[in-house]
Structure 1
Amino acid sequence: MIYTEKEHKSSPSNERWIKLPEVSHLTTYSRSTIYRLVSEGVFPKGVKLSPRAIVWKLSDVHSWMIDKEQQAANTEEV
Structure 2
Amino acid sequence: MNTARNEHHEEPVEFIRLPEVKKLVGFGTTKIYTMAAQGLFPKQVQLGARSVAWVKSEVLQWNSEQLAAARRQPSDSSASK
User: What range is the shorter-chain TM-score in?
Assistant: 0.7 to 0.9
Higher helix share: 1
What aligned pairs does 1:39-50 form with structure 2 within 5 A after superposition?
39-50=37-48
Scaled by the length of structure 2, the TM-score of the pair is: 0.76
**Counterpart secondary structure, 1:16:** strand
Question: Could you tell me how far 1:76 is from its partner in structure 2?
Answer: 2.5
Question: Could you tell me how far 1:45 is from its partner in structure 2?
Answer: 0.6
The alignment covers a number of residue pairs equal to 68
Higher strand share: 2
- Larger RCO: Structure 1 or Structure 2 (Cα < 8 Å, ≥ 6 residues apart)? 1
Q: Which runs of 5+ in 1 are unaligned?
A: 1-9
Question: 2: CA distance between counterparts of 1:39 and 1:52?
Answer: 18
What aligned pairs does 1:21-60 form with structure 2 within 5 A after superposition?
21-60=19-58
**Aligned equivalent of 1:11:** 10
Deviating 4+ runs (over 4 angstroms) = none
Scaled by the length of structure 1, the TM-score of the pair is: 0.79
Q: State percent identity of aligned pairs.
A: 29
